[in-house]
Amino acid sequence: SQKIEQNSEALNIQEGKTATLTCNYTNYSPAYLQWYRQDPGRGPVFLLLIRENEKEKRKERLKVTFDTTLKQSLFHITASQPADSATYLCALQVDYKLSFGAGTTVTVRA
Amino acid sequence: DARVTQTPRDKVTEMGQEVTMRCQPILGHNTVFWYRQTMMQGLELLAYFRNRAPLDDSGMPKDRFSAEMPDATLATLKIQPSEPRDSAVYFCASGLFGTVSKAFFGQGTRLTVV
């Protein structure tokens, strides 16, 4: 069956450090992998998209890698700030279907 | 700013009642999704439409849930009859898939079935 698995544990890090989140998938051949941020009581907000033929994508302090052989994406938040505290969701797109992992909650301590 | 609008924001209903949730997608978007989010299951895909045609509703309990897009400005999700296990936050999202391919989410409808 198809699965999308993210870090099961919440991540607590010190301000200024790098947070690294993992997204693993099985039985998918996604054309795109996306990352979203969700704050409490709100809908997810798109952050980054990486295509299957791309290895790495950067946007400001965010970096995403995509390894289709390992079936894994890593999401990095560098120089983390308390404002980065949120739940981060990975999503796989196959054709028009967008399926999400359960998310990883990140808390950045000042 | 264009946004996805969902109504109602909160709904409390008694078991057995019909519930209708509405979504106004962003104008021009060709793909509309319905998701359900719970602590236990995360964000589950219930159904999605492309150009108003249903593509996949395999994530929905067929006997009680139905999703439609009567026109390009309205998507509906109905539950009849509702059960306590349906309590969750229901999100609608829309996107221009095939080009930009990112989803824009509404604020969600928090449903409580008592």
> What was the pLDDT predicted at B99?
63
Alpha-carbon torsion angle A73, A93, A38, A87, nearest 10: -30
Residues in chain A within 8 Å Cβ distance of B48: 96-98
**Contact call for B56 and A103, based on CB within 8 A:** no
DSSP letter (8 states) at residue A85: -
Identify the CA nearest to B31 among candidates B79, B60, B88, B69: B69
3 state SS of B83: coil
Residue A3 contacts B where some CB pair is shorter than 8 Å: no
Q: Nearest CA of chain B to the CA of A95: how many Å?
A: 8
Q: Which helix (H) or strand (E) holds B76?
A: strand B74-79
Report how far Cα A29 is from the mean position of its chain's Cα atoms. Answer: 17
Residue A59 has pLDDT above 90, yes or no: yes
**Contact call for A91 and B45, based on CB within 8 A:** no
Q: Which helix (H) or strand (E) holds A36?
A: strand A32-38
Residue A102 contacts B where some CB pair is shorter than 8 Å: yes
**Contact call for A43 and B91, based on CB within 8 A:** yes
Residue B42 contacts A where some CB pair is shorter than 8 Å: yes
DSSP string, B41-55: TEEEEEEEEETTEEE
Least confident of A1-10, A71-80, B37-46, B86-95: A1-10
> What was the pLDDT predicted at B23?
98
Instruction: Convert the pLDDT of each residue in A90-99 to its tens digit.
Output: 999 888 889 9
Residue A28 contacts B where some CB pair is shorter than 8 Å: no
Nearest CA in chain B to A39: B107
Residue A73 has pLDDT above 70, yes or no: yes
> What was the pLDDT predicted at B2?
86
> What was the pLDDT predicted at A63?
97
Which parts of chain B sit beneath pLDDT 50? Answer: none
Instruction: Convert the pLDDT of each residue in A22-58 to its tens digit.
Output: 999 998 888 889 999 999 999 999 999 999 889 899 9
The mean pLDDT value for A72-80 works out to 97
Residues in chain A within 8 Å Cβ distance of B95: 98
**Contact call for A100 and B42, based on CB within 8 A:** yes
The mean pLDDT value for A52-73 works out to 94
3 state SS of B66: strand
Across the A/B interface, how many CB contacts are shorter than 8 Å?
A: 56
Residues 6+ apart with CB under 8 A from A6: A21, A22, A23, A24, A88, A89, A90, A101, A102, A103, A104
Residues in chain A within 8 Å Cβ distance of B31: 96
| C-alpha distance across the termini of chain B, in Å | 36
